[in-house]
Chains A and B, each alone.
Chain A
Amino acid sequence: DVKVTQSSRYLVKRTGEKVFLECVQDMDHENMFWYRQDPGLGLRLIYFSYDVKMKEKGDIPEGYSVSREKKERFSLILESASTNQTSMYLCASIFSRTSTDTQYFGPGTRLTVL
């Protein structure tokens, strides 16, 4: 069965802290994505990666960076967390860049920045 896991379901951090959100998929997928979900705004793409060490900015990359050192793992980094980064973060993966197949989502990490 397809599986995308995220390191934490809930996370509370303080303003200015460096935050790491980890995502792991066990399907040998090439492409991985980080979204944030906010009420009334839907899902917005932060960054995506179509191969190891490759990354591209999504629609709202400011304040975030990513790392993909291994195919199965895609990390989202908040260099200096701010209160406006309080949100639900969702990771997703898919096999092929040009496939019309499904994006598989993790359960999400609800991050609160105090």
Chain B
Amino acid sequence: GNSVTQMEGPVTLSEEAFLTINCTYTATGYPSLFWYVQYPGEGLQLLLKATKADDKGSNKGFEATYRKETTSFHLEKGSVQVSDSAVYFCALLRGSNYKLTFGKGTLLTVNP
């Protein structure tokens, strides 16, 4: 079946540091891939997505590239801010019933 593995947190960085959160997946065919973000006390929001191999999703300074050869969709940001502190979820969609498969989430804390 489908599965998503993302790096375990928590991740603690200083402001302006470089961020990478690793995400790899297992799925047949060509899934769509997503990063969702959950700020404290809120629901999930879509951060970015990619629907085919070599696509790059980007939003708010975050980027992720769909790598079919390594089955990966790593999230990166060049310079994090305190306001980026949140839980980040990698997810995939594959199949006709629109069920998302989520990773376990990575808590990011950015200190000033």
Does A17 reach chain B (CB closer than 8 Å)?
A: no
Interchain nearest-CB distance for A46 vs B (Å):
11
Is B98 a contact partner of A90 (Cβ separation < 8 A)?
no
Within 8 Å by CB of A42, from B32, B34, B93, B103, lies B103
Residues of B within 8 A of A48 (CB): 97-99
Task: Name A106's closest neighbour in chain B (CB-CB).
Answer: B43
- The answer, among A33, A43, A100, for a CB contact under 8 Å with B93, is A100
A97 within 8 Å of B by Cβ?
A: yes
Using a Cβ–Cβ cut-off of 8 Å, how many residues does chain B contribute to the interface with A? 22
CB-CB nearest in chain A for B1: A59
Inter-chain contact B98/A99, CB cutoff 8 Å: yes
A94-114: CB near B (< 8 Å → 1, else 0) gives 101111101101111000000
Say yes or no: B97 contacts A42, CB within 8 Å. Answer: no
- How many whole Å from A88's CB to the nearest CB in chain B? 9
Nearest CB on A from B18, distance (A): 25
Q: Is A56 an interface residue (CB 8 A)?
A: yes
Interface segment, one of B45-53, B60-68, B69-77: B45-53
Partner of A105, one of B41, B45, B96: B45
**Residues of chain A having any CB pair with chain B under 8 Å:** 4, 31, 33, 40-45, 48, 50, 56, 58, 90, 92, 94, 96-100, 102-103, 105-108
